[in-house]
Amino acid sequence: MPELRAHAWEELEKARDLFRSIIAARTGHPASALAVRVISMAFVGAAFEASLEWVRSGGKGNMIDLLKKAIDAIGFYGMLDRLGSKASSR
């Protein structure tokens, strides 16, 4: 079981790094910036919980709708807006 958990965490980190690079490229902030890292992991966490919810429901419903609800729940777009406004004020 520890190996499985370690592998799962590695995959979450890969997803975080992917979104971190996308957010950094779109906002002009460095990928290493704390805000970029936090927002990226928040998105990954929301996506993870949406997928768990979909599995718990037996795969019923629309996964995209669940993802939208999850990212709305964390205020993802507001986070991006605040980060983007800092980039544009430089």
Question: Which of the pair, 84 or 73, is modelled with greater confidence?
Answer: 73
Mean pLDDT confidence for 32-60:
95
Q: Is 83 exposed, middle or buried (0-12, 13-18, 19+ CB in 10 A)?
A: buried
C-alpha 39/C-alpha 47 separation (Å) is 12
Question: Which of the pair, 65 or 3, is modelled with greater confidence?
Answer: 65
Number of structural domains in the chain? 1
Which domain covers residue 56, as residue numbers?
2-88
Confidence of residue 5 (pLDDT cuts 50, 70, 90): confident
The predicted structure's pLDDT at residue 2: 82
pTM above 0.85, yes or no: no
